């Protein structure tokens, strides 16, 4: 382990794992390791990335079928919130590869299915709840700015970008979305791999995750921005870019967790 990882933050809360300070080159190294994991087991990565991509396409199709095309962007943005849970299988691959343990479909899928009823399930419930809050506030803002009848599907792009109400809606919606995104990132960035790796409860995992962000604000905010940009870029071609981006980010998250949490 390199010298930049030697500084450990004191742990004032009993039972909560201690964390290290990291720097930008740690993020780069974790990303490089994540890419190597994907290259070593691409079929697994494409499988889990495919599940996430399919979910995004189904959400988009539902919005179109129900004549709510104005919800496609909020759905796409909010769907990102469940990414860490979908990536559980990717964490297991990185963990086993790190330890030199065998990797097979039965082992990886078994590890994912084994999380049912465990603490990771509660963590998934937390992220799902925040996703529901996100979609609810989008509908609420639409009602506040455009009335109870909402936006006309055919003309909503013009209304959003050419009217005072539309611009205000975009500004407020993005501000609220940014707050929720920071919240989700803070409580999940290391909590999912921690819950997979150690017998801790969901509250301890969330505290550790927030502590990791507070201890390393600059590199972690930088990582959050990088994740956002990568996911946005990957989502533009009908979510198809997520087939590769999600598994690389999932593997990277494991290595970032290993660098931060002691």
> Which residue, among 118, 111, 114, 123, has the nearest Cα to 190 in the 3D structure?
123
CA distance 42 to 44: 5
pLDDT tens for residues 247-258?
Answer: 999 999 999 999
- Give, rounded to a whole angstrom, the gap between the first and last alpha carbons of the chain: 12
pLDDT at position 61 is 81
Average pLDDT over the chain reads 84
The dihedral built from the CA positions of residue 15, 223, 167 and 83, taken in this order, carries a sign that is: negative
Q: How far is CA 206 from CA 72, 77, 91, 126, 194, in A?
A: 29, 22, 17, 10, 9
> Which residue, among 20, 137, 124, has the nearest Cα to 71 in the 3D structure?
137
pLDDT at position 154 is 57
pLDDT at position 25 is 96
CB atoms within 10 A of CB 57: 14
Query: What's the mean pLDDT in 100-107?
Result: 95
Most confident of 9-13, 26-30, 74-78: 26-30
In three-state secondary structure terms, 256 is helix
pTM of structure: 0.84
Answer yes or no: is pLDDT of 112 > 50: yes
Query: What's the mean pLDDT in 70-81?
Result: 66
Beta bridge partners of 9: 19
The helices-and-strands tally (H runs, E runs) of the chain is: 13, 2
Q: Which position has the higher pLDDT, 159 or 155?
A: 159
pLDDT tens for residues 88-98?
Answer: 899 999 999 99
The lowest-confidence range among 57-61, 125-129, 208-212 is: 57-61
CA distance 92 to 130: 25
The lowest-confidence range among 39-43, 60-64, 196-200, 216-220 is: 60-64
Q: Is 15 left (phi over 0), alpha (psi -120 to 50) or beta?
A: left
């Amino acid at each position: 382990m390199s010298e930049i990882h030697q500084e450990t933050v004191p742990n004032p809360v009993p039972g909560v794992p201690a964390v290290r300070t990291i720097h930008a080159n740690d993020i780069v190294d974790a990303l490089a390791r994540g890419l190597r994991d994907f290259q070593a087991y691409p079929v697994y990565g494409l499988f889990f990335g495919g599940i996430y991509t399919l979910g995004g396409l189904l959400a988009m199709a539902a919005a179109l079928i129900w004549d709510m095309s104005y919800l496609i962007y909020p759905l796409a943005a909010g769907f990102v919130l469940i990414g860490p849970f979908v990536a559980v299988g990717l964490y297991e691959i990185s963990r086993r590869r790190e330890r030199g343990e065998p990797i097979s479909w039965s082992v990886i899928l078994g590890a994912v299915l084994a999380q049912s009823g465990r603490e990771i399930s509660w963590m998934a419930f937390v992220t799902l709840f925040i996703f529901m809050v996100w979609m609810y506030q989008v509908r609420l803002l639409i009602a506040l700015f455009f009335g109870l009848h909402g936006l006309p599907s055919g003309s909503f792009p013009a209304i959003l970008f050419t009217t005072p109400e539309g611009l205000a809606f975009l500004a407020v919606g993005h501000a609220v979305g940014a707050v929720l995104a920071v919240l989700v990132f803070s409580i999940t960035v290391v909590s999912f791999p921690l819950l997979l790796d150690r017998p801790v409860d969901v509250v301890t995992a969330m505290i550790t995750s927030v502590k990791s962000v507070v201890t390393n604000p600059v590199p972690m905010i930088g990582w959050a921005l990088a994740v956002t940009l990568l996911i946005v870029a990957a989502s533009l071609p009908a979510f198809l870019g997520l087939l590769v981006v999600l598994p690389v980010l999932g593997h990277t998250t494991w290595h970032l967790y290993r660098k931060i949490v002691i």
